[in-house]
Amino acid sequence: TSKGHALKTTGAQEDAVASYQAALAAKPDHGDAWYALANLKTYRFTDDEIERMREQAARPDLAFMDRVHLSFALGKALEDRGDYADSFVHYERGNTLKRAQTRYSADAMSAELARQRDICTPELFARHEGAGDPAPDPIFILGLPRAGSTLLEQVLASHSQIDGTLELPNILALAHRLRGRRAGQSRYPEVLHDLTAEQLSAFGAKFIEDTRVHRQGAPFFIDKMPNNFRHIGLIHLILPNAKIIDARRAPMDCCFSGFKQLFAEGQEFTYGLPEIGRYYADYVELMDHWDTVLPGKILRVQHEDVLDDLEGQTRRMLDYLGLPFEDQCLAFHTTRRAVRTASSEQVRQPINRSGQDAWKPYAPWLAPLREALGEHG
């Protein structure tokens, strides 16, 4: 299974499939391999494979994570067959299992994002103007997972002057350090008011140095960690010349796609329809705040606009980055590079609309999501 993951990352899909199938031949209840096939997004299960998954899922002695993986895999297999009612049952089952395993609180997340709005004021940025590391190298692509950010990364990483890297953990790790060591008493983001110009510059320089290992030598590089949208104030203070692209997708498509996805870690808000809807609404509110206090800092790219006009949106992004247009950006699906996100196989194909309005067949079961989205639903 691990070999299959590595092969998938490099684009060797047929070999990856063979590895996953070999894992299942050795251990038929190995849910990780079943879900890995589903997570290719392009693999279609046979009748026999679906029956084998159902048999394993029915076992009372099945291990917890095998049950989770099989639930999500069956959800995808049945979605591809058009059996949306049964598909939703399995997606809901997998999410319910994962939700019970986490300590995620929508109230706590809303409060955390509200603190960013309260603390990161125009006065904060005016006080620290001129601080931070001046390096223009980083391009942050952020937003919600499953919003089309991997497509934007692949398009831009096809440019000769831009390296694609990973969903880098560095900003999240810095924010965690700034919270302090006292349990239950976070000093972040309030501590941003107390940092000196020297500290901010040092944090920025350390980010540039620590991420160098992921680069291939181009003058610019992409950090595609979606959760960085929570920390745009911190990013601006330590790297004032960094560029920030907000990858946004239609709310119902984005949220339901997240609900269908079993993430490795860090996206606990996706394991319930009310939770993910509320998170999307909180995200939009925080992005509105960043637009107000840092006018012109962020370029918003709507996924549906990219589908409608790839060249126009590519030129728009490159203009924002101050880079010349290159034709290879439009042939992004031919660019050979490691891609580690759930969209790895999708961005190795020409642009398509297969994910647009994918929520609509599930509309009878999505009232909790619509309600949580409020005006965005």
**pLDDT tens, residue order, the chain (377 aa):** 999 999 998 888 999 999 999 999 999 999 999 999 999 999 999 999 999 999 999 999 999 999 999 999 999 999 999 999 999 999 999 999 999 999 999 999 999 999 999 999 999 999 999 999 999 999 999 999 999 999 999 999 999 999 999 899 999 999 999 999 776 678 999 999 999 999 999 999 999 999 999 999 999 999 999 999 999 999 999 999 999 999 999 999 999 999 999 998 889 999 999 999 999 999 999 999 999 999 999 999 999 999 999 999 999 999 999 999 999 999 998 877 565 555 545 555 778 788 899 999 999 999 999 999 999 87
End-to-end CA, the chain: 38
Long-range contacts of 110-116 (CB under 8 A, 24+ apart): 110/278, 110/282, 112/230, 113/230, 113/282, 113/283, 113/285, 113/286, 115/189, 115/190, 116/189, 116/230, 116/231, 116/233, 116/286, 116/289
Which of 241, 161, 160, 232 has the alpha carbon at shortest distance from 205? 241
Phi, psi of 126 (to 5 degrees): -65, -40
Task: Name the percent of the chain lying above pLDDT 70.
Answer: 96
Work out whether strand 162-164 and strand 220-223 pair parallel, antiparallel, or are unpaired: parallel
261/247 Cα distance (integer angstroms): 18
Q: Which residues contact 218 (CB under 8 A, 6 or more apart)?
A: 160, 161, 162, 163
Under DSSP, is residue 142 helix (H, G, I), strand (E, B) or coil? strand
Which of 4, 91, 23, 105 has the alpha carbon at shortest distance from 361? 91
Q: What is the pLDDT of residue 334?
A: 85
Q: What is the pLDDT of residue 346?
A: 57
Burial zone of 296 (CB within 10 Å; 0-12 exposed, 13-18 middle, 19+ buried): exposed
Which of 109, 151, 136, 362 has the alpha carbon at shortest distance from 249? 151
According to DSSP, residue 20 is labeled H
Tokens 């580690």, located at residue = 340
**pLDDT digit string (tens) for 318-339?**
999 999 999 999 999 887 756 5
Give me the sheet containing 162-164, strands edge to edge: 162-164, 220-223, 138-143, 243-248, 298-302
27/114 Cα distance (integer angstroms): 47
Q: What is the pLDDT of residue 243?
A: 98
Neighbours of 151 (CB within 10 A): 22
- Answer yes or no: pTM beyond 0.85: yes
CA 139 to chain centre: 15
Burial zone of 9 (CB within 10 Å; 0-12 exposed, 13-18 middle, 19+ buried): middle
